Structure 1
């Protein structure tokens, strides 16, 4: 499974990005919990979740910066 591309997220609205950020944070928490209890079978999913979260947060900050400039 390849890492998600940022172009996949650019089409989302601001509300959808915020929802995705919250969902990804919850997913990352669950993955970390599984890792701590040694129940995580696919450790690469942690990296994917972090990457996805970084992309979404970047988009959110870019959009807020663009909105402030207008």
Structure 2
């Protein structure tokens, strides 16, 4: 998911997608430990999506903090 698409989502939707991505990452790590994971690029893709979601959420928190000052 590209950042411009993420920015168009509401904060609740981003939080839901972040939670889903974290669950997916946990499952992928479990599969990797058990030896059943064949597509290791999914790990990197999921980690980067988590970072994108968190970046947009942090941007919103920072802008909300500046508006209140």
TM-score, normalised via structure 2 length: 0.91
Q: Kindly indicate whether residue 3 of structure 2 is the aligned counterpart of residue 10 of structure 1.
A: no
How large is the RMSD of aligned CA atoms in angstroms? 0.8
Structure 1 runs of 4+ with >4 Å offset: none
Equivalents in 2 of 1:5, 1:50: separation in Å? 14
Work out which of the two has the higher radius of gyration on C-alpha atoms and give 1 or 2: 2
Q: Deviations over 1:34-57 (max 9, x none)?
A: 001011121100000001000000
Tell me the equivalent position of 1:28: 25
Structure 1 or 2: more helix by fraction = 2
Q: Kindly indicate whether residue 51 of structure 2 is the aligned counterpart of residue 54 of structure 1.
A: yes
Number of corresponding residues = 67
Deviation for aligned residue 1:66: 0.6
List alignment gaps of at least 5 residues for structure 1: none
